[in-house]
Amino acid sequence: MLKLKSATPRWIILIIDLLMSILALGLAYFIRFDMNTNLKAMQNEWLYNWREFLIYVVIKLSVFYLFKIHLGLVRFTSTEDLKRLLSASLTCTLIFIGISAIRSWIFNTTYLFPSSILLMEFIISLLFLTGSRFTLKLWYLESIKTDQPAQKTLIFGAGSMGLIAKRTIENDQLNSQRILGFIDDNPKLTGNRIDGITVFASSDIERLHLLHQLEAVVVAIRNPAKDRLNFVVDYCLANSIRIQRVQDPETWVNGELTLKKIRKINIDELLGREEIQLNQAELNRYLSGKTVLITGAAGSIGSGITKELAQHFGGTLILVDQAESPMYDLQQELWDKHRLQFIIGDIRNKSFLENLFEKHAPNAVFHAAAYKHVPLMEENPQQAITTNIQGTQNLVDLSLQFKVEKFVFISTDKAVNPTNIMGASKRIAEMYVQSKKNEGPTAFITTRFGNVLGSNGSVIPLFQKQIDAGGPVLVTDPEITRYFMTIPEACQLVLEAFVMGTGGEIYVFDMGKSVKILDLAEKMIRLHGLEPQKDIAIQFSGLRPGEKLYEELLANEETTLPTHHPKILIAKTREIDTQFKEAFTALLSNENDLLEKVSIMKKIVPEFISNNSRFQTLDRAKKV
């Protein structure tokens, strides 16, 4: 194809625009005389109107120059250029009308041009100016297109983001995608055409694939319905269709989308559920002007709660964590937020906590600090006991002493029928929190949920590293399943439970359906455009110490009660017996060795049965 010259001198553009305007004026006269004229008539018209023609040329040149219509690069003509052309053409016409009025009213002579001529000239010249630019732009775009076969693509989302994505893809000279249409489930849009292409329902993707052999789908919706997104993604993965997603507009450079911001879709975008609407007004009303202490503030949940409160909450946040580097990262992220105090400290140190409570007098406590990695705690049970149990005891006792209004304990589904030290330590901490519910003004609330997507040490970042390294991806067991929740979702539910809690409740969050980890690994590999067991191997490493195949949210003896929030239930747990206090004291005593401490944990939590662990001998001894 003929290549267009990309640097035409600006004066040539100005002359071409003027010539097209003159041609438009000639056509206007031709139409005015019913397209029936001859050379003699034309000569007479020229002799009579040559001065007016010179005025026309001077005005057109002057106005075009003043409006700088010649400076716009023709190959990048935009709506702004069209506005400039319209303004210039309209200005010329208004000047001609003004001169005609002066000639007629003041000098009592003829109009500059007949009104019909002016109207037709305006319309025709505008069509010539705009049409020539778009013709050259289309010619240029065709001339720079790659010779590679066009990749047949659908855009999921027919809103403004989808339209921007379409134009970005089409305007990129190195891109070889051909947009076949939009898919969108908005009934007001389906069946219509936007920017020249049809909008289909997402359920039409199979038919479109069979008809056109689709090669790519670009997701261009900010918050798509999770079920429809998963439907489209699953179909694409099953049929080897490349799936990508437009990143959030907040990440675009100077508000403009580039192809670099269209990337592969992440697995956590598929596992999360619909966005939860937090009762923000009630939360603000309760916390307004108050001081909130957050332990484990640099961790996944602690930092999530911190960010949520820092965004809306007008009180003081006291942030405590023993991990210096993550706390520094959080401080840098929230450097522009006021009323935040970052404190490095250990919740096992009661004197440190006592000074903290005395100095800041918190009105509410969110206790998220804990050791959470199951295999590590199985090898280091004393650390789980001192941090997860004794650290919680320190905070609970000080909250009572300093009359904290509300205390929220962040627990885990691993506390239900625990098979490991970590889960048992969290269950005992739950029991201690519950045992203090009637001993003072503090309302003690426990929240319990499963794995959090993207949290430190979770399976998804681990799989991602293994895929990036070329494999293998290590799955412990082909049948293992887990519940997942996004960090924002978990934090919002914790805050909602905080608002609704009155004391003594264990809130269980709706975790949706459990996910098979093998399916998760295979889907992550396919999202990278790779084939499991062909491009990336999957190997089974066996259950780790303390790990179980299936996690639960309720123990066998527990039932639930509903709340006003459909995703939050109250677990009805067994009452804390009178022997708990004595056993709890013995557990924290320095007189008992490690095996004795774990044995006491099993007495406090009878359902604690070790799995794939050295402590299974204690279960056998208990049966004997």
CB burial of 537-555 (b: ≥16 within 10 Å; e: otherwise) equals ebeeeebbbbbbeebbbbb
What are the residue boundaries of the structural domains of the chain, listed by start? 10-143, 151-265, 289-453+483-510+557-617
pLDDT value for 346? 96
Q: Which fold has domain 151-265?
A: Rossmann fold (3.40.50)
CB burial of 245-264 (b: ≥16 within 10 Å; e: otherwise) equals bbeeeeeeeeeebeeebbee
In angstroms, the CA 302 to CA 410 distance is: 9
Greater confidence (277 vs 115) lies with 115
pLDDT value for 291? 94
Residue 1, pLDDT > 80, answer no
Closest CA to 610 of 600, 592, 593, 598: 598
pLDDT value for 125? 83
Residue 41, pLDDT > 60, answer no
Closest CA to 413 of 428, 403, 423: 423
Q: Which among 92-101, 138-147, 576-585 has the top mean pLDDT?
A: 576-585
In angstroms, the CA 136 to CA 151 distance is: 25
- For residue 373, give every residue at least 6 positions away whose Cβ sits within 8 Å of its Cβ, in sequence order, or none: 422, 457
3-state helix, strand, coil in the chain (%, to 5): 50, 15, 35
Q: Of the given ranges (53-57, 463-467, 614-618), which has the lowest mean pLDDT?
A: 53-57
Residue 23, pLDDT > 90, answer no
In angstroms, the CA 23 to CA 366 distance is: 77
Q: Of the given ranges (26-40, 143-157, 576-590), which has the lowest mean pLDDT?
A: 26-40
What is the tens place of the pLDDT at every residue in 79-138?
Answer: 677 777 788 888 888 887 887 777 667 655 665 677 777 788 888 888 887 777 777 767
Which pTM value belongs to this model? 0.71
Residue 6, pLDDT > 60, answer no
What is the tens place of the pLDDT at every residue in 494-512?
Answer: 998 898 888 889 998 877 7
The H or E element containing residue 229 is: helix 226-238
Confidence of residue 489 (pLDDT cuts 50, 70, 90): confident
In angstroms, the CA 604 to CA 434 distance is: 14
Asked if 300 and 452 touch (Cβ cutoff 8 Å), the reply is yes
Closest CA to 436 of 473, 395, 467: 395
Residue 287, pLDDT > 70, answer yes
pLDDT value for 38? 60
In angstroms, the CA 274 to CA 308 distance is: 18
Q: Which fold has domain 289-453+483-510+557-617?
A: Rossmann fold (3.40.50)
Confidence of residue 77 (pLDDT cuts 50, 70, 90): low
- Mean pLDDT for all residues in the chain: 83
The percentage of residues in the chain with a pLDDT greater than 70, rounded to a whole number, is 84
Confidence of residue 362 (pLDDT cuts 50, 70, 90): very high
Confidence of residue 601 (pLDDT cuts 50, 70, 90): very high
pLDDT value for 427? 95
pLDDT value for 3? 47
Residue 174, pLDDT > 70, answer no
**Are both 151-265 and 289-453+483-510+557-617 of the same fold?**
yes
Closest CA to 553 of 488, 503, 520, 507: 507
- For 313-324, the three-class secondary structure string (H helix, E strand, C coil) is CCCEEEEEECCH
- For residue 215, give every residue at least 6 positions away whose Cβ sits within 8 Å of its Cβ, in sequence order, or none: 151, 152, 153, 241, 242
What six digits make up the tokens of 541?
Answer: 């490493």
Confidence of residue 55 (pLDDT cuts 50, 70, 90): confident
In angstroms, the CA 600 to CA 427 distance is: 13
Asked if 396 and 407 touch (Cβ cutoff 8 Å), the reply is yes
Asked if 441 and 570 touch (Cβ cutoff 8 Å), the reply is no
The predicted model gives 244-272 an average pLDDT of 75
DSSP string, 365-406: EEE------HHHHHH-HHHHIIIIIIHHHHHHHHHHHTT-SE
In angstroms, the CA 315 to CA 306 distance is: 12
pLDDT value for 401? 96
Residue 169, pLDDT > 90, answer no
pLDDT value for 472? 93
Greater confidence (441 vs 9) lies with 441
pLDDT value for 4? 46
What is the tens place of the pLDDT at every residue in 450-481?
Answer: 777 767 667 888 888 999 999 899 999 999 98
The predicted model gives 25-45 an average pLDDT of 65
pLDDT value for 514? 82
Residue 225, pLDDT > 50, answer yes
Beta-sheet strands, E only, within 495-619? 506-509, 515-516, 538-540, 559-562, 568-572
The predicted model gives 583-598 an average pLDDT of 89
Residue 275, pLDDT > 80, answer no
pLDDT value for 329? 93
What is the tens place of the pLDDT at every residue in 388-447?
Answer: 999 999 999 999 999 999 999 999 989 989 999 999 999 999 999 999 988 999 999 999
Q: Of the given ranges (84-93, 345-354, 548-557), which has the lowest mean pLDDT?
A: 548-557
Kindly list the catalytic residues: 414
pLDDT value for 140? 65
DSSP 412: -
Greater confidence (490 vs 401) lies with 401
Residue 2, pLDDT > 60, answer no
pLDDT value for 260? 75
